[in-house]
Structures are given as C-alpha cells and as structure tokens.
Amino acid sequence: MDRIVIFDTTLRDGEQSPGATLNAAGKIEIARQLVRLGVDVIEAGFPAASPGDLKAVRRISREVEGPVICALARCERADIDKAWEAVRDAGKARIHIFIATSDIHMQHKLRMSREAVLKRTREMVSYARSLCEDVEFSPEDASRSEVEFLYQVLEVALAAGATTLNIPDTVGYATPGEFGALIQGIRQNVSGIDDAILSVHCHDDLGLATANSLAGVLAGARQVECTVNGLGERAGNAALEEIVMALYTRPQYFNLTSGIVTTEIYPTSRMVANYTGLAVQANKAIIGANAFAHEAGIHQDGILKNRLTYEIMDASVIGLAQSRLVLGKHSGRHALANKLEELGYHLDTEDLNKLFKRFKELADKKKEVADADLEVIVSDEIFQPEVVYAVDQIQVFCGNGSIPTATVRLRGPDGVYVVDSNHGTGPVDAMYEAINRIVGIPNDLVEFSINAVTEGIDAVGEVTIRIQEKLDNGGSPVNPQTGRKRRIFSGHGADTDIIVASAKAYVSALNKLIGSRNGDY
Ligand code: KIV
Ligand code: ZN
C-alpha cells in the first residue's frame, strides 16, 4: 500500500476560523498532541501575519519533535524571511509559499499579469530553496485557474526547486469528478511532476472537501492537507478524521494507508474543540456525539444482534472509551486519574489536583459523574486562557414583574477583588452588564449557546459564547493597532448553575480579548 502524507494545518488554516483564536501555549499543547496522533507535517502558522504567530511557530519548531514543521508565506521575500526565521531550528523544516493563479485573483486581488506571477513564482521558489531544502508551492485558487496557465506555473515552481506541489480548492468550488480530473491532468501534463509530491488542499464551502480530497488521492495525489474537526476559513477544510477513517475503513477500495494512530483521533478532537472553543456538531462524521449513537428501534435491535449491521467502524478504533466505570462521590483520585487517561487526557499533578477538587464538588451534587461531565470540567479548568479576571461570586435577582439585576464579584489583575451591579433584560444580560462595568472592554455578543451535558435536572450546563471586539474607530471594520479585522473570541464555562456557567464563559472570552491586546493571540 502507498502511504499518504498527512499534512495538518489546524494551527494555520484551522486557526483562521472566526473565534478559533489560540495563544502560544495552546498551540504548543495541540502540536504535541498532533505528534501523538502521528501526523507527518504540522503547518504551525503564518509568521508574517503577526509577531505572535512568528513567536508561536518558532517555539513549536524548537520544542516539538518528530513531524516536519512548516510555515506559510506569500511569494514575498519579507514573508519568506519570517517563515524561515520561524522554522529554521526545527529538526525538519519546510517553507510553504503561495500565490494566486486564477484570473479573478490575479486581476482583482494581486493586480498582476500572468507573466508577473510566473516571474514571481520562479524568483520566490528559488529564494525559499536557497534557505530551506523542503519547499512547498501552492497556486492559490488552483481549481478556478485556467488549466494551461496552471500547468505552466507548476512547471516553473518545479524547475525553481519546489519539492511539494499543493493544489488548493481555495473556495470549495470543485466537485469530486472535476477535482480528480484536475489532479490527473496535472500528472499527465506537467513535466517533471514525478520529482515532487503532489498534494491536495480542499475547502468545504459545498460540503465536498473530504470527497474532493479523496478524489485527488485516487487520481495520484500523495499528500492531503486537512484539519482536526474540519476547522478552517469559512466552512472549513477537509477534516483529518474523515480522510484517515475513509482510508482505514475502505482499504480494498483505496489501497492506501496513513501513519495516523487512530486511537488518538478522539482525544485530539476534544483537545482542539476545548482550546479553540469551537464545539463539534453532534452529527459530525467520526467524532460527533451522535456518530456512534443508535436511536431507532430497528437499528438498536440490529446492533444488539450484530454490531456490523449498522456500524462500519468500531468506536474504540478512534479512541472513544467504552468502559463501564462510573465515578461517584466515593471515587478517589486514582480512579479519576485512570478515567482521565482513558478519555485521552494526560494531566500533570497540579492539573489533576485542580480537577479532583472540581470533581468532588460535582459528585456532591450529582449521584453519578458521567464521562461527558468530566470532559466539560476538564475544559472548564484546564483549557482556559491566561486568567486576567476570574469569577468569584454572582448573585442575580430576576423573575416575573421584576427588574433583572445582578451583582458580580470578580478577582482582577493583581488579585484585587472588584464588585459591581447592573440591570438588564434578563438575568444573563444583567450579569454581563455588571461584568462590563468592571472590565470596561466594549464588545458585541455574537453567539450564546447553552447545552445540558447529560440528562436530568442535576445536569451540568455548558455555555459557549463568542464576542467580537468593538472599536472606537468610527465604525471601521479594521483595528488600527493590529491592522486586522475586528476579531472574534470564544469562551466556554460549565457549572450546574447556568448563570455561573454563563459568567465563566463570558469572562473566559474577555480574557482572550485582553490577551490579544498584549499580543498573546
Ligand atoms: O486555501 C488555500 O488556498 C490556502 C493556501 C494558502 C494553500 O490555504
Ligand atoms: Zn486553505
């Protein structure tokens, strides 16, 4: 079987998902988990995008061993210099450069002629090659590029020293038949193509990213670019777990393999959801909460008689623990540690102690603590941004015929406690208004969702929110300090009291927003 190179771009294209902001510490932890998962290449960031990105890629290059560490750059000397500065210390380094090749991008975005794009490609690929032996080239918007011109650009990139040629369906426009034919056409018409690895990079705007990537692979591509949970620009990128499990589940059809340790898929998915604050939809293939759940009576009956009637994969293959061990208030630290390991969380003593305290508090309120409860308290305790403000006490007054009012006490910078009150349209609004009076950072709440983690009246409530920074800049969508668009930050919080969970989620998002102003994100 041929082996497919798994190129993970969760930390670059994935981090471009609105709200999926990660700080350097979160990126390092995810990169370490990607090593356990067995990816071949980690695209760690786009160093020219911000000094924070450059720093994070450099730390990953220095601290994470195993996979190739790659940095993205436009076809510009300054970008390439920054990418090289960021990855040069990696055990295996790669520079990935791109330039758009579709008429619409060249005319309206780059304002460059075809000749100029060819010249720039030649010069910048050879410049990148003069720095690094491993250079990947991407003709952005390849699937909408005039195909003869695309062949020409690829030949130029190859002759200038590119070692991987990546074909992006940047706007998720292609269909599987077309995309497979594009890859086949490139293999047949680009001279010297066998000297490079051919790669695919598909976006999911029409829900076809995985299908297109697999069509590319069937047509001869040997690297797939993908992200954990399918994160990425707009509708996202091809999901790593879908690509890998398609190859794993249908070996006779694909006759291809990957180096992925499939039992790390679920823990990686949880970790990425926790750090980015972007929850996985319940019906998401492979890793969604319902992916292995059977509701219909006929299906349940079939499963009981023979699992293969309705299940094409075994949940344990992706690392979904199926132990019957249920924790309760008599469970000790050792049982908790075992359970967390089983769920894929490898925690140090300090984190385990924090979690044990939270677990005991919860076990006092709930008879049985389910795996799902543990997952949310792990996110609530461990996967949080640097704490600037922390929720200390909340008190709300609300109900029919009253003015919802909240009093909040937060622990702020230097450990100073601050109390304030406000009213609002409901208890959550009143509490957020009180927090706003303390923190004083204008923002718009763009999403608020609340979810009961398990069934029953004693269930833990998990709140996920997204806030967008609000700037005092005459309504311009761009932040003059950073030159970037108004950014979105997610936050999550969990508690058996949903008002407390809502407060924690809001404060966690505010901590990220504050961190972004200090260059952490
Ligand atoms: O989607 C895209 O075209 C990209 C390139 C930078 C590879 O992400
Ligand atoms: Zn992309």
Mean pLDDT, the chain, as a whole number? Answer: 92
Query: Other C-beta atoms within 10 Å of 115: how many?
Result: 8
Considering every ligand atom, which ligand is closest to the CA of 170?
Answer: 1
**Does the Cβ of 140 fall within 6 Å of ligand 1?**
yes
* pLDDT value, residue 475: 62
What share of the chain in percent tops pLDDT 90? 72
Predicted confidence (pLDDT) per residue in 271-284, tens digit: 999 888 888 998 99
Residue type, position 17, single letter: S
**Does the Cβ of 168 fall within 6 Å of ligand 1?**
yes
Predicted confidence (pLDDT) per residue in 371-385, tens digit: 878 888 888 888 777
Q: In 214-263, where do the E strands start and end?
A: 223-226, 256-258
| SS3 category, 10 | coil
- Using CA atoms, how far apart are residues 124 and 321, in angstroms rounded to an integer? 48
Predicted confidence (pLDDT) per residue in 109-161, tens digit: 999 999 999 999 999 999 999 999 999 999 999 999 999 999 999 999 999 99
Could you tell me which residues come within 8 angstroms of residue 421 by beta carbon, excluding any fewer than 6 positions away?
405, 406, 407, 408, 434, 437
- Using CA atoms, how far apart are residues 315 and 449, in angstroms rounded to an integer? 28
CA 450 / ligand 1 centre spacing (Å): 34
**Does the Cβ of 53 fall within 6 Å of ligand 1?**
no
* pLDDT value, residue 482: 58
Q: Which two tokens stand for residue 295?
A: 């509701």
| SS3 category, 450 | strand
Prediction pTM value = 0.86
Give me the mean pLDDT over the 59-81 stretch: 98
**Does the Cβ of 464 fall within 6 Å of ligand 1?**
no
CA 249 / ligand 2 centre spacing (Å): 26
**Does the Cβ of 201 fall within 6 Å of ligand 1?**
yes
Pair 342, 374: CB distance under 8 Å: no
- For ligand 2, an ion, list residues with CB under 5 A: 13
The model's confidence at residue 57, banded by pLDDT at 50, 70 and 90, is very high
Predicted confidence (pLDDT) per residue in 465-497, tens digit: 999 988 766 666 666 665 666 888 989 899 999
**Does the Cβ of 170 fall within 6 Å of ligand 1?**
yes
Residue type, position 447, single letter: E
Q: Kindly give the number of the ligand 1 atom that is closest to the alpha carbon of 225.
A: 7
Question: Residue 345: is its pLDDT beyond 90?
Answer: no
Q: Answer whether CATH 3.20.20.60 is correct for domain 390-517.
A: no
What share of the chain in percent tops pLDDT 70? 96
Q: Assign domain 2-276 one CATH number from 3.90.25.10, 3.30.56.10, 3.20.20.70, 3.40.50.720.
A: 3.20.20.70
CA 113 / ligand 2 centre spacing (Å): 23
- Using CA atoms, how far apart are residues 321 and 27, in angstroms rounded to an integer? 25
Q: In what order do the strands lie in the sheet with 443-452?
A: 443-452, 461-469, 488-495
Question: Residue 323: is its pLDDT beyond 60?
Answer: no
Considering every ligand atom, which ligand is closest to the CA of 17?
Answer: 2
- Using CA atoms, how far apart are residues 72 and 80, in angstroms rounded to an integer? 8
Per DSSP, the residues of 264-306 read GHHHHHHHHHHHH--PPPTT-TTTSTTTT---SHHHHHHHHH-
Q: Kindly give the number of the ligand 1 atom that is closest to the alpha carbon of 138.
A: 7
Residue nearest ligand 1's atom 3 by CA: 170
Predicted confidence (pLDDT) per residue in 206-261, tens digit: 999 999 999 999 999 999 999 999 999 999 999 999 999 999 999 999 999 999 99
The model's confidence at residue 343, banded by pLDDT at 50, 70 and 90, is confident
Question: Residue 388: is its pLDDT beyond 70?
Answer: yes
* pLDDT value, residue 367: 79
**Does the Cβ of 136 fall within 6 Å of ligand 1?**
no
- Using CA atoms, how far apart are residues 329 and 62, in angstroms rounded to an integer? 43
- Using CA atoms, how far apart are residues 189 and 192, in angstroms rounded to an integer? 9
The model's confidence at residue 204, banded by pLDDT at 50, 70 and 90, is very high
Considering every ligand atom, which ligand is closest to the CA of 238?
Answer: 2
- Which residues partner with 422 through β-bridges? 406
Considering every ligand atom, which ligand is closest to the CA of 142?
Answer: 1
Give me the mean pLDDT over the 87-103 stretch: 98
Pair 112, 122: CB distance under 8 Å: no
**Does the Cβ of 155 fall within 6 Å of ligand 1?**
no
